[in-house]
Amino acid sequence: MSYETILFSIDGNIARLTLNRPDRLNSFTTVMHDEVQDALRRVGGGAARVLMLTGAGRGFCAGQDLGDPAGAGANIALGCDLVVAARSASFVQSFAKLGLVPDSGGTWILPRLVGNARALGMTLLAPKISAEQAAAWGLIWQCVDDAELASSVEALAQQFAIAPTRGLAATKAAIYGSWRRSLIEQLDVERDAQRDLGRSSDYAEGVAAFAAKRAPNFTGR
């Protein structure tokens, strides 16, 4: 299907979704919401093993289109597994200036990334957090020079496209679920996942490749 507000493609194992309203800093409209949802359904039902999410132009996303918007777009980015930001980028939680609360999962994501003190400072005071500060706080994975952003993200996408993605998915599920479990419960989760993955094709391939001193050919199964 054709889209008005996003660009979307699946090339091999990599799905690429670009918010494409650069004149409005890629702020969300009802149409964009619907189109992103449709694209994500296509990712879930296809052969892609990694999704790269980015924005066209000089900003990722300014949030909901309110004329002069900012805020929610940051939480969409922070909901991703790994976030790489250009050094010129910044993150703003501006909801307090509008009498609103952080949305798009912000009240759940922020304290888990940076702790309650910094999450409250970010949301109650609405300061502009630089990409370097965000990386130092653990808010994002990496801050890179602007000129290196595209190549850095592409390298990550290529790495994940050939990775043992079944194991990576289990790792993500274990880490995200750990917040609601005790250590004893988490050890059980690790044991069960390890037992299951130990019977996977990717594990067998990884061992065989290691023994043969060659690059593995993982399939995600």
Average pLDDT score over residue span 39-47: 88
pTM higher than 0.85: yes
What is the pLDDT at residue 44?
85
| pLDDT tens digits, 58-76 | 889 888 776 547 456 889 9
What the chain holds in terms of domains, given with CATH numbers, is: 6-161 (3.90.226.10), 165-212 (1.10.12)
What is the pLDDT at residue 67?
56
What is the pLDDT at residue 68?
44
Distance CA 193, CA 104 (A): 30
Distance CA 91, CA 82 (A): 15
Radius of gyration of the chain (CA): 19
Average pLDDT score over residue span 27-39: 92
